[in-house]
Amino acid sequence: MKFLLIYTVLLCLFLMSLSLENVKKRNEKERMRKFQKGERMKIVQSAKKLTAIIRASKMLNRTRGTGPRDDMGCTSIGGICQWNTFICQGRYLKDKCREGKSHQCCTSAAAWSTFCAGSHHNRVRACDNYGCGGFNSKRMGLNIKAVDIVCDDYGIINAPFSGSLSGPVGRTVGDSIQYDGVKLYNTVHCVKIFSIRPYSYSESVVQGEAMGYLLPLQERFSGITSHLQLQMCDGSDPAPFI
């Protein structure tokens, strides 16, 4: 009888421990299921955030690649947006029209003032022993995308249009670089003027104002037609303006 009682007690203890073990396993499984569910939720949320970031990045890149929303950048400087296949009597400017791929801003060919003080018009240097002064003509064996404007040594150089000065600007001459130029620019035009000594490299000038003098060329190239060299900043032909 005593043994039976002891056996019964031991059996009850065994069953209780087995039940507690099962409860513990169920709790552990439930805890693991909740953990896995939480991790899946985190992964889904991270994926959603990543998708939103990618979409925003793509939208930003598309926005950066678009042009102006209107034509004010062109009309505010007196230009007109038109098909770039049309003839423009002045000069086309990029990135100022709403329909940038098919339209460009045509600015009027408002005549610049004469460069050389005392001259009534800008005269392009003709050919001499050192080359020709027209756009893309040969000078010392090279085709130069600039125009030479005739002017006397030490002659006063006036600003052809109102703008700001910046420099000094260099150019390649033979095997060296000569910093004998200055840049003049505004919202419409940008030119580099060489063979001059400006009074300042960092100030604003108005159209017709003296901004420097021509450096002497006869001392280095005897018999050459003294001139300044005019180059558009974008390498285009300045003929429509001079």
Pairing mode of beta strands 80-83, 91-93: unpaired
- CA-based nearest residue to 184, from 153, 151, 210: 210
Nearest to 211 by CA among 175, 236, 184: 184
Q: Do 146 and 135 touch, CB atoms closer than 8 A?
A: yes
Q: Are 68 and 96 in contact (CB under 8 A)?
A: yes
In the chain, where do the E strands start and end?
80-83, 91-93, 103-107, 137-139, 142-144, 147-150, 156-158, 163-173, 176-185, 190-194, 196-198, 204-205, 210-214, 227-232
**Three-class secondary structure of residue 116 per DSSP:** strand
Question: Which amino acid type is present at position 66?
Answer: T
Give the whole-angstrom CA distance, residue 130 versus residue 104. Answer: 38
Q: What is the pLDDT along the chain (242 residues), one digit of tens a residue?
A: 666 667 676 666 666 766 667 667 777 777 777 666 666 676 657 667 667 666 766 555 554 445 677 888 787 766 788 888 888 877 777 778 887 778 888 876 656 889 999 888 899 999 988 889 999 888 777 788 899 999 999 999 999 999 999 989 988 776 777 888 999 999 888 999 999 999 999 899 999 999 999 999 888 888 899 999 999 998 888 887 88
